[in-house]
A and B are shown apart, each in its own frame.
Chain A
Amino acid sequence: MATQFIANHNLELLLERLRTYAEVHAPVRGDDGGVRFAALTPGTLPDLAAPRTLLPPKKYLLQPRETILNYTDEAGYQLPSVISSPLILFGLHPCDLAGINYLDQVFTCDDPDPLYAARRSALILVGVSCSPDEFCSCHRSASPLKATSDLFLNVLDGGFAVTSGSPRGDELLDLANGIFEERESAIPEDMRRFFGHAVTAEVRPELDATLPEWQELADRCLGCGVCSICCPTCYCFDVLEFGGLDGRSAARVRQWDNCLFKSHGEVAGGMSFRKNRAERFRYRYRHKYHGFGALQGIPSCVGCGRCRVVCPAGLDLRPLAERLERWLP
């Protein structure tokens, strides 16, 4: 079949064209060796070979801490204005694309979150294929999430095969007119690993509370929260309201939360739905692999491996999931 091919040495040219369309952010290796999604300045090439960034792209959609409502006595509660100029995220791995796909279902389908929706509509996604390392599990289990993007770059020898996945992707292809060459090439059948043609896990209504694994995990967990901070699909948040010094204004703030924190299951009166960490692990597992509400039955682990990389205690829910879930090959 005929595909649009771009040679490696033309990548900078493509990025230059993309910058005329919108600001471009991509994985960039910092002086400290850490790879983060950041503004891609002219002359800098994205690090497309890095297995993963420190934070997933969810930071562009849900900020770690943000004001979601402003209050004054005169105007009551008001949404803050979101200025969202178009932003190209370049070099998203399929797992991160699937993560965004999941967050879209959480925040834009049922009762759309206006802040999320505004930021999401400004994002243009350019994916790239990758090879899993020892922390990745996208190739070992199935997720029904789709790794959809506006453009997708399949890594080939000496360059990339580029395919568009949306009208906006077509616009970007037009913009890069002349950089691509038509080439007859057999694209490996699915460079996005299992994403897009996955099999849903069997939904279990309940998980055995007496499994010894919950306590084993709890004994070693430090409660640091970085597993969810670095997760492309963890979206739990806490909401706090801070009054202003004038006594007549307030800001309502949303910040990333973690289901292993003490306060996560706490309610008024000092009661808690999940007093100990073992119960919280079971809850985490249920949410991550079985889903809640409208997303029940959709496992949301996209296999990026970040939680395993960052956990100071090296904890990993995957072995348990692989034992409990009847994923089909």
Chain B
Amino acid sequence: MRRLRLAIVGLTACSGCQLSLLNCEDELPELLKRFDFHFFPMACSPALLDDEYDAALVEGCVSMPHERELLEELRRRSGYLVALGTCAVFGGVAALRNGEDREQLRRHVYDDNQVAVETCDPQPLASVVAVDAGVTGCPPEKEELLRLLAGLIRGALPVGIDYPVCTECRMRENLCLLTERNMLCLGILTEGGCGARCPGLSVPCEGCRGPLVEANLTEALEIYAQKSFDRATVLGRLRRFCPEWQS
């Protein structure tokens, strides 16, 4: 069986998604049999972007001109381009201040010091290139990454998830942190697939996996209001991982 050639790249992000893949210790030997990690600067050297790739897995958002060029280059060289993690899919934490004046933000952080890097509003990959699939999560679940790779062997892309965190939370027979514990849990608006990792530990969902398909924001805001969480607070929390939530 021919090994699939992969490019695994991080743009503006914390590298946690790539690390999640490297954390699949038990599966790494099998992965090395099936895949040629040809361009994976975080894990392998030398890393030369000089080949064609069956798939490129890209973590992070686009916030600098050279990232845009790298992403376009990866798109040209790759059969599939997969957005890896919330930042790549939605913009993520780096996009938190999108819409505000960048010069003011720069001054806030660096004052009068000269900064050599040129930046733009952080964007998800799909606003720059065509993206074939996304695996959301901050970081994505190891199981999802392995399923993505196992699917690529067969030329298949991951199936989208159309249920929220609540589905798996109730499957685990948890009490509801929002309705039964009056906590600001974002599970009802957030894409599931994490096995309700946080609510399972009585920690409210922070919405790290981004918006649920067909999310009912109007009704959710009603429910939050009944629990004394106002609209601005809820939307502020939602936008931490996805700036697209509109007021």
Contacts and interface: CB of A to CB of B under 8 A. Distances in A.
A243 B147 CA distance: 7
Contacts of A245: 27, 30-31, 34, 146, 149-150, 153
A80 interface: no
Contacts of A55: 170-171, 173
Contacts of B167: 224-226, 229, 258
A197 interface: no
A220 to B, nearest CB: 5
A34 B178 contact: no
A219 interface: yes
Interface stretch (B63-71, B85-93, B94-102, B156-164): B156-164
Contact of B219 (A220, A262, A263): A220
A283 interface: no
A312 B166 contact: yes
A36, A243, A245, A313 — most chain B CB neighbours (10 Å):
A245
A210 to B, nearest CB: 22
Contacts of A240: 159
A134 B163 CA distance: 29
Interface in B181-211: 187-189, 202
A33 B171 contact: no
Interface in A131-153: none
B211 to A, nearest CB: 12
Interface string B19-59: 00000000100110010000000000000000000000000
B131 interface: no
B212 interface: yes
Contacts of B149: 245
Given A219-B219, A245-B34, A262-B213, A226 B170 contact: yes
B79 interface: no
A157 interface: no
A231 B168 CA distance: 15
A301 B162 CA distance: 25
B216 A221 contact: yes
Interface residues of A, number: 35
B105 interface: no
B170 A223 contact: no
Contacts of B175: 32-34, 54
Contacts of A247: 1, 34, 153-154
B220 interface: yes
B223 interface: yes
Contact of B150 (A220, A225, A242): A242
B163 A225 contact: yes
Given A245-B31, A313-B223, A54 B214 contact: no
B219 A54 contact: no
Given A64-B171, A262-B162, A223 B147 contact: no
Interface in A294-312: 310, 312
Interface in A256-304: 256, 258, 261-263, 277
B151 interface: yes
A245 B143 CA distance: 11
Contacts of A277: 214
Contacts of B119: none
Interface of B: 1, 27, 30-31, 34, 146-147, 149-151, 153-154, 156, 159-160, 162-164, 166-168, 170-171, 173-176, 178-179, 187-189, 202, 212-216, 218-220, 222-223
Given A243-B151, A263-B162, 17 more contacts: A54-B174, A55-B170, A59-B173, A64-B171, A221-B219, A222-B188, A223-B164, A223-B216, A226-B166, A245-B27, A245-B31, A245-B149, A247-B1, A261-B163, A262-B213, A263-B160, A313-B219
6 closest A-B pairs by beta carbon, nearest first, are: A224-B166, A64-B171, A225-B167, A262-B162, A226-B170, A243-B150
29 contacts: A32-B175, A36-B173, A55-B171, A55-B173, A65-B171, A222-B188, A222-B220, A223-B162, A225-B167, A226-B166, A226-B167, A226-B170, A240-B159, A242-B150, A245-B30, A245-B146, A245-B153, A246-B34, A247-B1, A247-B153, A256-B171, A258-B163, A262-B214, A263-B160, A277-B214, A310-B170, A310-B179, A312-B166, A313-B222
